Amino acid sequence: MAQSYKSLKQDFVSNLSGGGISEVNYVTAVAPAAVLLWSALQSRRDFFVKYGPLAFTTDFLLNAGAILAATTIYSSAPTALNTLLVLPAIALYFLPTTWSRTRPKKPSHAGVANGMPDSKRGQNNLGPLPERPFITHYRGSMMVVTCVAILAVDFRVFPRRFAKVETWGTSLMDMGVGSFVFAAGLASARPVLRARAAGKSTSVGASLMAAARHSVPLLLLGLVRLYSVKGLDYAEHVSEYGVHWNFFFTLALLPPFAAIIQTLPQSLFSVHFIALFVTLVYQVVLDATLLKAYVLTAPRDNLLSQNREGVSSFVGYFGIFLVGQAIGLDILPRKNPATITYVSGLSPKHQILTRLLLWSAWFSVLLFLATSYQTFGLQVSRRLANLPYVFWVSAFNCAQLALFCAIETLMFPGLYSAAEIDTETRRCRHATSRVLGAFNANGLAIFLLANLLTGLVNLSTDTLQASRTRAMVTLLLYTLALASIATTLHAKKISVKL
């Protein structure tokens, strides 16, 4: 790559100031709006039951194409795109539902004669961790946004205000990085809950060994990315993570630290408390010492200073990971004994929605207090992964989860009323987009593939000079390739574990 072109590429993604939080909310609202329309088509018309070319194309255009449009050609009018998705969904909602075909049957006389309806007796067949289609939709949509953005950012059709900010401010891609970590924390709660349900206690050594199995592949991927970027003289934004550090290294270090946290007594230290404590102490250290000045202005004259952004921001990302895990521990179980009193009187599906709304409100209040000039007056910084950034990412992702949960509750009201696990599984699959399910099932592998394709496109195409039409065709084909590969792997039940 010519030096002049490399410099142009670096300048294209450097010294940016981002945009407003509200715009990030409007653009990302396209994901739940698309799922709303998908759910209306499925619950009212059984549109995706026979999954042929038409169903896949519609699924792709709704749950991937709409996100691509929102971040490019509709970037200045996300409200219009949301309206185009929501209005047909509202019209379809008032049509007769096909969901009644799969509602639970009336209790048999034998069941009633034994003093317990079949639906109650069958609860013993249901595991403690049900499938949650709304979480699949949330994680799948987050992965689609991430994959689209990492290539789209190199084209002029992608607004500069959506790209990562240099130091202070908010943007779509700043939220994308944090959401990736939050979603990883959310997923990490499932094995923890399985171990608790089985009554297993694990030593620190065993926990670290299990974590290492997840970390080693990520470390290797980080090294591969490092050597390929340096070897190909690929354009890189050094102030993002540092000279050698990259996002894979951050992901690789999360499991071992989380494993140590899980060995602490649950009765004394909740994961949520630890997350708040870690990020609060980190913020105090940033403000009370020279750490902030060191991260932002120190000369890169040794290995640590060359990678100071990646090393320092890991603490904030670890806090986000723990918040995600805390949310997972709260909403993933079928029954949560820790449910607060004024929520416990609700039905299970409304309990989850209410708790998510409360979580979102809690972190929104914390974000307001942290950033208000009347209180602490802190600024959001993805580069530092500071306290306001952790609160912003947490509030946003809890709100997104609440939106997807509300859609599921509205469109598939009988999802968790089955008496047997097979029936519940069948209903959950009926209520899950195959495209989003595929992105969720092999998320890390698809993310790696997206990075490889992004590098290939950048090495073979002058993205800065590409016309609007060429850019959109390239991005559409790229997104379609990712969706096709992910869906094929998922259909063949191939799970790529990294």
Task: Determine the pLDDT at residue 122.
Answer: 45
Average pLDDT along the chain:
90
Average of pLDDT values for 109-135?
61
- Percent of the chain topping pLDDT 90: 73
Residue 396 reports pLDDT greater than 60? yes
Residue 120 reports pLDDT greater than 70? no
Average of pLDDT values for 294-306?
95
* Range from 266-280, 295-309, 463-477 carrying the lowest mean pLDDT: 266-280
* Range from 39-48, 105-114, 252-261 carrying the lowest mean pLDDT: 105-114
SS3 label, residue 50: coil
Residue 318 reports pLDDT greater than 90? yes
Question: pTM, whole model, 2 decimals?
Answer: 0.92
Average of pLDDT values for 145-172?
96
Task: Determine the pLDDT at residue 419.
Answer: 79
Distance, CA of 172 to CA of 473 (rounded, Å): 22
Average of pLDDT values for 133-139?
97
pLDDT tens, residue by residue, 407-426:
999 999 988 888 788 889 99
| 18 φψ region: left (φ > 0), alpha (ψ -120 to 50), beta (else) | left
Task: Determine the pLDDT at residue 438.
Answer: 97
Contacts within 8 Å (CB) and 24+ apart, 212-219: 212/255, 212/256, 214/255, 215/252, 215/253, 215/255, 215/256, 216/252, 217/498, 218/248, 218/249, 218/251, 218/252, 218/498, 219/248, 219/249, 219/252
* Range from 140-149, 202-211, 233-242, 350-359 carrying the lowest mean pLDDT: 202-211
Average of pLDDT values for 171-195?
94
Distance, CA of 75 to CA of 44 (rounded, Å): 30
- Percent of the chain topping pLDDT 70: 91
